[in-house]
Each structure stands twice: as C-alpha cells, then as structure tokens.
Structure 1
C-alpha cells in the first residue's frame, strides 16, 4: 500500500500558483488553468501528496471554468469543512494526507450523478493519463476506465 503524505520537499517544488492555491487557500482564475477543459481519460491526484482524488469518468463541464467532478475517486482522501470567507458559507474541500486546499463542493451538480459539484483548482492537481497509471504507481485505478 502506498503512503501519501505532505513533505517539505514537495512544498518546495510547487510553482507560485500551486503554493498559493494549496497552502494559502487561494483560487486560480477560471478558464485559465490546466484542467478545466481536459477531456483525456485519467486520474487526478494531489499535487503535494500524490493521493488519488478524482477520476475523469466523474468529470463534467459545469461552465464555471474550473475542473468539476461529481464525486471523489476515494472519499477517504477528501475532507470537508465550512468556509465562511468572502461573506458566504461554502464547504471547502481538502486532501486528507496532503492537507492541500483543493476547492469547494456545491449541491448543484448533475442530479443523475448525486447532485454534487466538486469545483477543484487545477493548481492542486496532477493529472495521470490512463496509459501512464501503471508506471506511475496507480495501476489499481486502471479498472475504473474499462468499459
């Protein structure tokens, strides 16, 4: 079993934008980020810890300009907490092992898939294409993409 954790080395390797988003609860600009319109099949993992977070099979176009998912690939890798910043109550989504700020979850996702919209910053994610899962150590997740 792989051990996912936050390390100072991983934090030092973050870009300025990745650090701002994951470590300072920032938000990247909509429609100007790596994965908002990525349609490739694969797994999205925490940029800090590598823990699996979301799969492309659960990704949908929410029209918001950020990657949006109907559910996490492993619920135990996600934690939620209330966020009262910006004068409104939202639910922040963080990775459990990396303690990275990922984005927020809203109850306005596709009803046929549970009604949730995990609105996630690309800067908090690393994308691993299906063909690279095995050599990146995520081979167990390949079955998600079989028809």
Structure 2
C-alpha cells in the first residue's frame, strides 16, 4: 500500500460514491487506474464492504450506551451469540483488564435501555455484573481513520 492507496481509502471512507473520474483527478490517476486499485484492495480484504451510514437519532435511537459485563467465561459464548443477534447492539467486544465484554448499544430511550439490559443481559445466569454508561454526545465515530 502506498500513499496514493492511503489517500484513496481516506476519500472512499468519507464518500464511497465518489465517481471514479473525480477520484482520478484527485489522485492523479486514470479512472481505470483507480478502479484497479479499488479492486485490488477489495481482493486483499482491505475493503470489506460498502454500506450506508444511518443517523441514529433520525432513525429513532436517541440513546447510545456502553455496557460492561462480567460473566462466567465458560458460558460467555452463549451470551455473545445471543447479543450478536440483537439489532440494538452496534459493537460487541470481548475484553481483558476490567470486564469480560464491552457492548455498544443504541436504543430509543432509557426505559428501552433498562428493558434491554434486563431482558438480554441480566437474564443469563452466567452474568456476574453489569455496568452501563450513557454517552452524552458522540464527538467522533469511525471504524478506521486512514
């Protein structure tokens, strides 16, 4: 990967619908050269997929919360499998250094959050403790910032 690829990734991360012709002008490449680079990054697995970024508030999810969970590690698989299927769960990480799981969820309101925690986390016998932190404001959010 060279500096042109990095610049291309930065532009695509900002707007994956940027026309090849415009990308080529910004990168000093022909549209076919840009297409080749993109296809190579897709082939190598660097670019996994393209998706729409949805405004959570306009979608009805006004509350973002981070939930730390401590659970019996022998039964963590069942909990993570269940949480992975929940549409409220935006991120699910197995962690060390404090808690077993860190979960980022988006929900309509605090009542919905409480119900989610009770119905989909605390209901597991393996869960030892749950700590919920509400985000007051999202200042920056990206998967990778090339």
Higher helix fraction: Structure 1 or Structure 2? 2
TM-score, L = length of structure 2: 0.21
TM-score, L = length of structure 1: 0.21
